[in-house]
């Protein structure tokens, strides 16, 4: 006995069982009566069970047929639910968003994006790892995270391992800003240019990541020499130090968007725009999930509004 049968077989059987008429079932299924009769006969052969008693005037289910109708309806309902769930997952409306990002993105840009994503997709479970670059790579490599969010200047070589690739979310022009403690002399300036920063000590970033690399390029190309106060690894550390008067800090505008302005005063630097990009970091050849795609779209909308 060949027990392989399709959902079409089950749909045909349930329609005939419920209508109790070959004529009506064939009309509803848009098939000929002979095609319908053959499919039912084939199904009975596959199952090794008689499903219908047939007379010239009547058609009714056998005891086994009634039992099988309940099974078939349950199977079809499960298939419908599974397909619906799968389609919702593809749209990012169900499933899981498991991701990672560096601390400065995790505390500035990503929280409002994640809040919007969660509000739109309440059925999606979120797993988040805020960590340094080496841990980001480890989480993605081991499957603890599907992707990471990274940022950097256009054309920047991030030197990720060979099995990783990036998928751009968006390219955006960023205005550079300078941050300092409340009451700092720069607070009174109507326009701040690079040369206005020379009297002050700079809290700088080590060039170990996307933001650190950008920091190095910008400070080299601005054609002014700044005194260095302290070198740190994380931009939020630099911002915290600047808010306490240890020096000034330079950052792209997205960094300060979600930062408490009561602790750090900031102003745009005139003539400091640069092209920046944000991207997914993921394993090479791995398609991004619907949840990831939805997150990326929300991030794109937020940064281009």
Q: What is the C-alpha to C-alpha distance for residues 8 and 30, in angstroms, rounded to an integer?
A: 13
Does residue 1 have a pLDDT over 50? Answer: no
Three-state secondary-structure class, residue 267: strand
Domains, the chain, ordered by start: 7-90 (1.10.10.10), 95-172+277-304 (3.40.190.10), 176-272 (3.40.190.10)
User: Which pLDDT value is given to residue 229?
Assistant: 83
Model confidence over 7-64: pLDDT tens digits?
Answer: 999 999 999 999 999 999 999 999 999 999 999 999 999 999 999 998 777 899 999 9
Beta-carbon count within 10 A of 297 CB: 15
**pLDDT-based confidence at residue 207 (cuts at 50, 70, 90):** low
DSSP strand E in 154-273: where?
Answer: 164-174, 176-180, 201-205, 227-232, 249-252, 265-268
Q: What is the C-alpha to C-alpha distance for residues 16 and 28, in angstroms, rounded to an integer?
A: 9
What integer is the mean pLDDT of 94-118?
91
Q: What is the C-alpha to C-alpha distance for residues 43 and 269, in angstroms, rounded to an integer?
A: 75
Does residue 95 have a pLDDT over 70? Answer: yes
Cα–Cα nearest to 108, from 237, 246, 259, 1: 259
pTM across the whole model: 0.72
- Helices 22-29 and 33-47 sit at what angle, rounded to 10 degrees? 100
User: Which pLDDT value is given to residue 273?
Assistant: 84
Q: What is the C-alpha to C-alpha distance for residues 75 and 10, in angstroms, rounded to an integer?
A: 8
DSSP 187: G
Does residue 252 have a pLDDT over 90? Answer: no
Model confidence over 268-300: pLDDT tens digits?
Answer: 999 888 888 999 999 999 999 999 999 999 999
* First and final C-alpha spacing in the chain: 63
Model confidence over 122-163: pLDDT tens digits?
Answer: 999 999 999 988 999 999 999 999 999 998 887 777 889 999
Q: What is the C-alpha to C-alpha distance for residues 44 and 13, in angstroms, rounded to an integer?
A: 10
Q: What is the C-alpha to C-alpha distance for residues 16 and 22, in angstroms, rounded to an integer?
A: 7
Model confidence over 222-251: pLDDT tens digits?
Answer: 666 777 888 888 888 888 899 999 999 988
More confident residue, 201 or 56: 201
Q: What is the C-alpha to C-alpha distance for residues 292 and 283, in angstroms, rounded to an integer?
A: 14
Q: Are 256 and 179 in contact (CB under 8 A)?
A: yes
Q: Are 264 and 257 in contact (CB under 8 A)?
A: no
Model confidence over 150-199: pLDDT tens digits?
Answer: 988 877 778 899 999 999 999 988 888 899 999 999 999 989 998 899 89
Q: What is the C-alpha to C-alpha distance for residues 305 and 296, in angstroms, rounded to an integer?
A: 14
């Amino acid at each position: 006995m060949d027990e392989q049968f399709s959902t079409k077989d089950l749909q045909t059987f349930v329609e005939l069982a419920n209508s109790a008429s070959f004529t009506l079932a064939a009309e509803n299924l848009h098939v000929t009566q002979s095609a319908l009769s053959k499919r039912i006969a084939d199904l009975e052969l596959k199952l090794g069970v008689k499903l219908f008693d047939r007379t010239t005037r009547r058609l009714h289910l056998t005891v086994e047929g009634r039992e099988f109708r309940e099974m078939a309806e349950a199977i079809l309902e499960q298939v419908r639910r599974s397909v619906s769930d799968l389609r919702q997952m593809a749209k990012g409306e169900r499933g899981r968003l498991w991701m990672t990002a560096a601390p400065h993105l995790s505390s500035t840009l990503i929280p409002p994006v994640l809040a919007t994503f969660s509000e739109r997709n309440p059925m999606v479970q979120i797993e988040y790892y805020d960590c340094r670059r080496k841990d980001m790579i480890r989480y993605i490599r081991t499957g603890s995270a599907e992707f990471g969010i990274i940022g950097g200047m256009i054309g920047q070589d991030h030197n990720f391992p060979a099995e990783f690739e990036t998928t751009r979310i968006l390219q955006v022009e960023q205005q550079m800003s300078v941050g300092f403690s409340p009451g700092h002399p720069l607070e009174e300036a109507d326009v701040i240019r690079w040369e206005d920063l020379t009297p002050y000590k700079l809290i700088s970033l080590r060039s170990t990541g996307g933001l650190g690399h950008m920091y190095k390029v910008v400070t080299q190309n601005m054609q002014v020499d700044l005194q260095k106060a302290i070198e740190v690894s994380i931009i939020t550390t630099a911002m915290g130090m600047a808010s306490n008067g240890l020096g000034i800090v330079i950052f792209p505008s997205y960094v300060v968007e979600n930062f408490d302005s009561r602790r750090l005063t900031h102003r745009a630097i005139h003539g400091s725009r640069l092209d920046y990009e944000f991207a997914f970091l993921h394993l090479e050849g791995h398609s991004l999930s619907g949840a990831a795609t939805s997150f990326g779209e929300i991030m794109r909308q937020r940064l281009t509004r």
